[in-house]
């Protein structure tokens, strides 16, 4: 199943910089692992915000929840999820 996910990140300003750096390093490694596996299909930064739009390709809602809750930044995120279905007028067969 495909899901459109918006993630807004709100790291507390009083969090020690060493802790922030460690969390960000783990976040990058985890997200890149998911991208290589094909589960995190697309990720785009939203200009001017600490936020992104992403497309996930996972088995179901439960797997999406597992993937998202595994993000090291999860506790600092506001997340909106929209399930996606292939549009009947789409011409690209490789984007299911």
Report domain extents, the chain: 2-84
Query: Are the CB atoms for 4 and 80 separated by under 8 Å?
Result: no
For the domain 2-84, what is the CATH code? Answer: 3.30.70.1060
Distance CA 13, CA 59 (A): 36
Model pTM score: 0.90
Name the more confident of 40 and 92: 40
Determine the average pLDDT of the residues in 60-70. 98
Distance CA 68, CA 48 (A): 23
At 54, is the pLDDT very low, low, confident or very high (cuts 50, 70, 90)? Answer: very high
Q: Is the pLDDT of residue 75 over 90?
A: yes
């Amino acid at each position: 199943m495909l899901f459109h996910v918006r993630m807004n990140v709100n790291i507390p300003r009083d969090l020690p910089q060493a802790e922030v750096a460690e969390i960000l390093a783990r976040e990058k490694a985890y997200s890149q692992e998911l991208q290589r596996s094909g589960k995190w299909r697309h990720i785009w930064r939203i200009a001017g915000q600490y936020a992104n739009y992403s497309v996930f390709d996972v088995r179901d809602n439960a797997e999406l929840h597992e993937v998202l809750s595994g993000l090291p930044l999860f506790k600092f995120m506001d997340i909106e999820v929209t399930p996606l279905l292939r549009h009947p007028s789409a011409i690209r067969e490789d984007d299911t």
